[in-house]
Amino acid sequence: MRTLADSYPDGILGATRDGIVTIVNAQGAALLGVDSEQALGMPLPEVLRLLDQDGKTWLEVNRPFDSISIVRGVPEQSWLNASGEEVLTTGKLVRDGALGPVLGIAVGLRSGRGRARLDRERSDLVAMVAHELRSPLTGVKGFVQALLNRWDKLSDDQRKLMLTTVNADADRLARLIAELLDVARIDTDRLQLYPRESSAEVLVRRVVDSIEAGTARGIRLEVEDDLPEVFADPDKFTQVVTNLVENAIRHGQGQVSVGLAASPSLAGVRITVDDQGDGIPVELRRRVFTKFWTTGDSGGTGLGMYIVGGLARAHGGWVTIDDAPGGGARVMVDWPTEDGRPD
């Protein structure tokens, strides 16, 4: 029983009706700051030394042995251990029959670090969204206000320029909203895909032509002959390639090279995007695929590569990072020709 309890990822503490501890696994002992062997047979108040913000103990607040007969447990609560670390607890009352007296209690204990990390991620998301929305919204508001106040004084060319800028800012807002929705769908496994056999060359060439028209940086495209078609949702495939090429332009230097070739790792196609920048250090390559990861002063939401990885995996492919032959970063996406979506 003790070995089984120690293998459980959360802390476990059990006590009898008389308040004598009968079991504490290793995880629970670590959170409570006690020795798991010495705690056996000790009074429960001396082991379950968790306090709230007012200095009251878990037992004083919950009084499990004095609860009314219909109470079956204690919902999750936040407490502080002797080290000041947050500990999340739940309680289960063991009764003698459905409405009988309490024979013992079982308390689950879990570190609050996971929740704190989740809270930080939510705060980062709110801060990022506020920052990314502010700039285009400010532009839209300013130009629309100028058009309303000075319409008769502006020339047609000036009006067209302002409306073009407003349209570009609106597109930027739409992309940000789409990114946020994709992140939520990837996180909850609710990503909707409509895959079919598609020409990787046609889709990639459209992306390259579109991005090249809006940048002074050169983009070179090399396509291997007789490539098979990929099994992909065309919109999602285009989104992946767009993110990769735009990242190479934003974070890299020099010419961007895009290559299409047969994948050496699966029956499919490998998309390769190289830049001529400083590259990505080996120790940071895993972090690239986490949410809100950014580098340097180039800005961005930090969601692009997270979405690239999620969309590739959703199709049964994967993404790897290496060094480009001429220096800089190389990002490779292996995309299957058949339906490789996870079940």
Residue 38 gets the label, from left (phi > 0), alpha (psi -120 to 50) or beta, of alpha
From 155, 187, 219, the end of a domain falls on 187
307 by Cβ neighbours in 10 Å (0-12 / 13-18 / 19+) ranks as buried
SS3 sequence of 188-233: CCCCCCCCEEECHHHHHHHHHHHHHCCCCCCEEEEECCCCCCEEEC
211's CB contacts (< 8 A; 6+ apart) are 219, 242, 245, 246, 249
From 58, 87, 111, the end of a domain falls on 111
85 part of a folded domain:
yes
Looking at the fold, whether 169 and 209 belong to one and the same domain comes out as: no
Structure tokens at 161: 């320029």
Give the domain extent around 306.
196-336
Compute φ and ψ for 228, nearest 5 degrees. Answer: -75, 160
List, in sequence order, every residue forming a beta bridge with 79; answer none if it has no partner: 87
Number of domains in the chain: 3
Q: Which of 330, 193, 336 is nearest to 273 (CA)?
A: 330
The CATH number of residue 61's host domain is: 3.30.450.20
Q: Which pLDDT score is estimated for 296?
A: 58
**Cα-Cα end-to-end distance for the chain:** 35
This prediction has a pTM of 0.63
The residue-averaged pLDDT of 88-114 equals 90
Q: How many CB atoms lie within 10 A of CB 178?
A: 13
Looking at the fold, whether 30 and 134 belong to one and the same domain comes out as: no
pLDDT band at residue 251 using 50, 70 and 90 as cut-offs: confident
Structure tokens at 95: 């009764």
Query: Do 110 and 122 meet the contact criterion of CB atoms below 8 Å apart?
Result: no
Q: How far apart are CA 75 and CA 280, in angstroms?
A: 46
For the ranges 3-12, 61-70, 99-108, 180-189, which has the lowest average pLDDT? 3-12
Q: Which pLDDT score is estimated for 265?
A: 86
Q: How far apart are CA 232 and CA 10, in angstroms?
A: 41
From 145, 164, 187, the end of a domain falls on 187
